[in-house]
Structure 1
Amino acid sequence: MKKKLIIDNIGPIDHVELDLKRVNVIIGPQSAGKSCILKIACFCAWAEKRIQLEQDDNSFKDSAFIKSNLINFHKLGGFFVTGNGAKFRYETNHLWIQYEFDKDEAAFSWDWVDSSRWNYKRTRISYIPAERNVIAAIPNWLEVSMKYNYIRNFISDWMLTRTFYTNQNKLDVLGLGVQYYFDKQTGQDYIELENGKVLQFTNGSSGIQSSIPMLVYLGYLFEYQYKPGQYGKIAVDAENEVILDHIYKKKRYNYGLKPYKETNSSYIGKIGMGVRAFKSEEEYKECKELFKAYTKTCSSDIYLEEPEQNLFPKTQVRLIYELLKNSKKHEDSIFIATHSPYILYALNNAMLAYYVKDTVIDEMKDEISCLKYGYNPEKVSVWQIDEGRLVGMSDKNFTIQDSKHLIRKNFFDSIMGDVMNDFNNMLNFYE
């Protein structure tokens, strides 16, 4: 899986180059550009999906379309300044796209990577914002007029995803002795405490209010979206037929087909809602596999802001371990922006557990809680950003990982070192 993102002169970012892997984490001070990177990465993944499913650039060459779906949708107004050279480039195994703000109408360009263009598999693109607790903070959010952006989109997704958790199928909230469920009769969200007491979700603690929308959505992405009957069948079938038309024509299955039809040697096969003609059974099988890859979600690309919000450190650690475990089910990709050292330390433990899981002596296995959450370090990238650029281990390694991909020197370690140095220096004068 190849994914490379290059961003220049957008908002607080001067220049960054990121080789995206299965799990990606970026740390840095406030307003350093972490969320900006996540939003652009999310837009690029969405643009790739649109181009793949439609086999064309659709409306991307229209500057107004980019403004609506990137700058307005992701609330990046003021980040793109004329004359500053704002641009980004995104490369995958299937295609590359580039956006150069100063070029206006010719700003968006792209092309296929011919050797693997048709190896695409459909993913769900999901952005979980830091503002997710608005769902609990505003009890009447359904009545609030909001512009359509990534926050409003998350609220729309919440309306669907919460319905999977009922009084008979409650969500356990990170082992905190709290369960969440949605009551379809009243249209209300509830939390049930360990002692059986039931509260309205809006009356929960700040940690509960920020974590439940995230956990409910993640539960949908990891499990419930793969269950049958999630959408109206007629609407899905109609959309899939359009995708099939694009595949059929762009793969040129219909090209030169006339002689085969005239001699009755063409192959007729059912795909989707109807039957189509092919020059051979092999072409039919190929098209059928492509149709499946392009219409059936195989995994999710998850962009997650500040998962640690209002959570105690021990709970943050459990959250990361659960994220890593659940993301393996369908090989989901996760991109996290965080201020928390505990997120980093938990991830590092999971990577080290991958290396030592088979060598730890039996007497110690029960003492190391993260062993069962081992995650392949080669599938992880961790960066820190400061003053518009990535601060890595070396000029050739923009991550803060060593040759074994374990996390090394970072902001959190140096800040903790400064705090402890001050404490130790003061101890000399304490009586």
Structure 2
Amino acid sequence: MDEKLVVKNFGPIKDATVDFKKVTVFIGPTGGGKSTLAKLAAIYRDGEFNLLPSTERSKLFKNYNINNFLCHNSYFSWNDNDGKVEIDNNLESDDKEKREKIIDRAVDNILNDNNTKESFLNLIQDFANEIKIEEGNKNIDAVRKFLNNVSKPLLDNGSLARPMYIPSERAFVASIEYSWAGLLRDDIGLPKSVLAFANSFSLSRKDVPELAIPFLNITYRHVEGRDFISIPERDEPLMLLEAASGIQSVTPLLVLLEHLSRKNDLVQSFIIEEPELNLYPTAQRDLVYTLLEKCTQANNDLTITTHSPYVLAALNLCLYAHKVKGLFPHQAKKIARLIPEKYWLDPNDFSAYYVANGKAKSIFDTKTGLLSESQLDEVSGEFADIFDRLTDLRVPEKKAPSKAKPVKK
């Protein structure tokens, strides 16, 4: 999987080029643009983007609260297996050929599925009769309506891609438990990405009523519409909304991933903001291992935004395990005892970027097949330097010479 995104003059991003791989990581300071790049990837991977006319594409940007970033000289380029598309600040593009490829593939998927073939063909026929589409028809409103109506079954049954974006606000879902439906109904202005995640979690817990989370030593259970957490040292389970913040953040995420990982007939794209939220460093490491296992099966891909050097360190271990095995195959079993093979990460499937000051700088060293040591050590190095300078200041204060007058004899 190789995709390239070029962004210019969009929100915090001034000029950035990113190569997306099977696993892609963004790290950098708050407000640097990590989430902006991740959200753009979600938009351009969304099958609906390629069906919508340019006048309606802004709704996808609005879903991620980045529509206000568009300015007069914004520019985007997205290149994937279906070809390259250049998009201007009005979200217009010359993508006819790419759109036709995507629609043809989606329609083929439906026509090969007897469960959806008949209803889909009936929808097209009924709608064509309704708006009397004829050869040479220039009625843009009719065409737009046609595309919108046809896109729904294509998206609903998985024939078109729809990335799974998991926002950093996901802990909010555990706090409100089953009240999210009312929030959606009342349209109180929550980000669409949060509501979409809440809806996906609600559906997934019906399929995953129980899930052990070993690295937190807990078990999730969904009982009679309520979410509970069982802890070995406690007889009575806790409600999820009563649990620690790290548990509230991780549990809905892992329940949803467990549900989606069982749908191995679909190619899925996972984009996760700050998976490390409220977790101890060793738990961050184990969560990274779990994400690699659940989100990179077959042709699936994983994109992460993070502030944590521990997340980078865990990924580096997985890259290094793959490298050592390649250099010394006879050590494979011993390597697997340290890091199980299912977590090994091929450097050809990995990219990582430091996002700051309007740019995205690669921090992956293609020569070593590992993350740049300077990036891993940057923060700890700065702290160590300050510590050393504080140590240098541990000098006793020099006493001023005494000004006492000599005693006369």
Question: TM (normalized to structure 1)?
Answer: 0.71
Aligned position for 1:343: 311
1:59 is aligned to 2:55: no
Q: Which moved more, 1:401-410 or 1:373-382?
A: 401-410
Deviations 1:46-73 (CA, angstroms, capped at 9, x unpaired): 0xx247xxxxx533222xx122122x11
**Residue number among 389, 410, 416 corresponding to 2:359 in the alignment:** 389
Q: Shift of the alpha carbon at 1:335? A: 0.7
Aligned equivalents of 2:349 and 2:337: distance in 1? 26
- Contact 1:357–1:371 (Cα < 8 Å) also in 2: no
Question: In the alignment, which residue of structure 1 is the partner of 2:166?
Answer: 128
Query: For 1:158 and 1:12, how far apart are their aligned partners in 2?
Result: 31
Seen in structure 2, the aligned counterparts of structure 1 residues 152 and 327 have a Cα distance that, compared at 3 Å, is closer
Secondary structure of the structure 2 residue equivalent to 1:391: strand
CA distance 1:142–1:123, change in 2 (3 Å): closer
- Map 1:63-212 → 2, pairs under 5 A: 65-70=56-61, 72-81=62-71, 83=72, 85-101=73-89, 104=90, 107-112=92-97, 123-139=161-177, 140-144=179-183, 145-146=186-187, 147=189, 149-166=192-209, 170-183=210-223, 185=224, 187-195=225-233, 196-212=235-251
Instruction: Quote the offset at 1:429 in angstroms.
Output: 4.5
Amino acid at match of 2:386: D
Query: How far off is 1:44 after superposition?
Result: 0.1
Q: How many residues align?
A: 334
Residue 143 to residue 94, structure 1, CA distance change in 2 (3 Å): same
> Which of 360, 363, 375 pairs up with 2:345?
375
After superposition, the C-alpha distances for 1:253-291 in whole angstroms (9 at most, x for unaligned) are xxxxxxxxxxxxxxxxxxxxxxxxxxxxxxxxxxxxxxx
Counterpart Cα distance in 2 of 1:302 and 1:362: 29
Displacement after TM superposition at 1:366 (Å): 7.2
Please list every run of at least 4 consecutive aligned residues from structure 1 whose deviation after the TM superposition is greater than 6 angstroms: 116-121
**Secondary structure at the counterpart of residue 425 of structure 1:** helix
Identify the residue that residue 39 of structure 1 maps to in structure 2.
39
Among 355, 358, 379, the residue aligned to 1:415 = 379
Structure 2 distance, partners of 1:377, 1:366, is 17
Query: Secondary structure of the residue that 1:383 maps to in structure 2?
Result: strand
Shift of 1:180: 0.7
- Confirm or deny: 8 A CA contact 1:27 1:339 kept in the other structure: yes
- Using the alignment, how far apart are the partners of 1:363 and 1:188 within structure 2? 43
Cα shift at 1:363: 9.3
Q: Distance in 1 between matches of 2:33 and 2:296?
A: 28
* C-alpha contact (below 8 Å) 1:350/1:374 kept by paired residues: yes
Cα displacement (A) at 1:409: 3.8
Taking only aligned residues, the RMSD between alpha carbons, in angstroms, comes to 2.7
Offset of residue 390 of structure 1? 1.7
2:162 & 2:98 partners in 1: Cα distance?
Answer: 22
Displacement of 1:194 in angstroms is: 1.3
Contact 1:135-1:155 at 8 Å conserved across structures: yes
Inter-partner Cα distance in structure 1 for 2:382 and 2:340:
29
Give the C-alpha shift of residue 113 in structure 1: 6.0
Counting only pairs closer than 5 Å after superposition, residues 245-256 of structure 1 correspond to structure 2 as none
Separation of aligned partners in 2, 1:188 and 1:356: 46
> In 2, Cα distance between the equivalents of 1:367 and 1:95?
42
8 Å contact 1:180–1:190 — kept in the other structure? yes
Q: For residues 329 and 2 of structure 1, what CA distance do their matches in structure 2 show?
A: 16
Identify if the C-alpha distance between structure 1 residues 410 and 143 changes in structure 2 by more than 3 Å, giving closer, same or farther. farther
Separation (CA, whole Å) in 1 of partners of 2:298 and 2:105: 17
**1:1-26: CA deviations, max 9, x gaps?**
33111111110000111111100001
Match of 1:402 among 350, 366, 379: 366
Percent identity between the two aligned chains: 26
Matches within 5 A, 1:267-282: none
- The TM-score with structure 2 as length reference comes to 0.75
Any conservation in 2 of the 1:190–1:199 contact (CA below 8 Å)? yes
In structure 2, the residue matched to 1:279 is none
Corresponding residue number in structure 2 for 1:243: none
Query: Relative to 1, partners in 2 of residues 1:298 and 1:165: Cα closer, same or farther, differing over 3 Å?
Result: closer
Shift of the alpha carbon at 1:159? Answer: 1.2
1:332 aligned partner: 300
Give the greater-gyration-radius structure (CA): 2
Counterparts in 2 of 1:138 and 1:372: CA distance versus 1, 3 Å: closer
**Does residue 1:20 correspond to 2:10, yes or no?**
no
Alignment deviations for residues 364-394 of structure 1 (CA, whole Å, 9 cap, x no partner): 54762456521111100011111001233xx
1:275 equivalent in structure 2: none
| CA–CA separation in structure 2 for the residues paired with 1:372 and 1:430 | 49
Residues 361 and 330 (structure 1), Cα distance of their counterparts in 2 relative to 1, 3 Å cut: closer
SS in 2 for 1:330: coil
SS class of match (2:94): strand
Q: In structure 1, what is the equivalent of residue 29 of structure 2? A: 29
SS of equivalent residue, structure 1 residue 181: strand
More helix by share: 2
In the TM superposition, what whole-angstrom CA distance separates every residue of 1:130-167 from its partner, at most 9, and x where no partner exists? 0101112234333223347111111111110111222x
| Alpha-carbon distance between aligned partners in 1 of 2:332 and 2:301, rounded to the nearest angstrom | 32
The answer to whether the 8 Å contact 1:350/1:370 transfers is: no
Matched residue type, 1:79? F
Give the counterpart letter for 1:68 in structure 2: K
